[in-house]
Amino acid sequence: MAKPIYVLNGPNLNLLGSREPEVYGKETLDDVRARCERRAAALGFSIDFRQSNHEGELVAWIQEARGGAAGLIVNAGAFTHTSIAMLDALLACSVPSVEVHLSNIFTREPFRHHSYISKAVKGVICGFGAQSYELAIEALAARLATAKPS
């Protein structure tokens, strides 16, 4: 069986749909999961979709992805702007990865303009709401299709 694409979600993303819908939209995290599963299936992939409010758990999942995932999508939430631990884990992870944000972090408060994890990913997609995840799946699928077998 082919390895899944891991989709990891950080703190407060469990509150999607009710937390600042004017910024993050009205879709819930379950809605986002369904979008991801549909898009991935259409491209021949499965999704392993997770959320945690705990930095260490996210780091452990990134480490797990090293052997268990075809690719990795990370919406680190607030840890984007603070977590050197997640950066280090991503730097040690050889699977292609994409950073995702629902909002355009560059049009928000200045502290959100810097991402520690961007250095370790193939690309960043932000500002398209829940569609950002689908765009990340498409990007990963294209990269995986052209990757040389190891």
* pTM (predicted TM-score): 0.92
The catalytic residue positions are: 24, 101
Block means of pLDDT (10 residues each) for the chain, length 150 residues?
93 87 81 97 97 98 96 96 96 97 82 88 95 97 80
User: What is the model's pLDDT at position 65?
Assistant: 97
Give the residue numbers spanning the domain of 127: 5-146
Residue 52 vs residues 11, 12, 20, 98, 148: alpha-carbon distances, Å: 6, 8, 19, 18, 33
Give percent helix, percent strand, percent coil of the chain, each to the nearest 5.
50, 15, 35
CATH number, domain of 106, equals 3.40.50.9100
Question: How many domains does one find in the chain?
Answer: 1
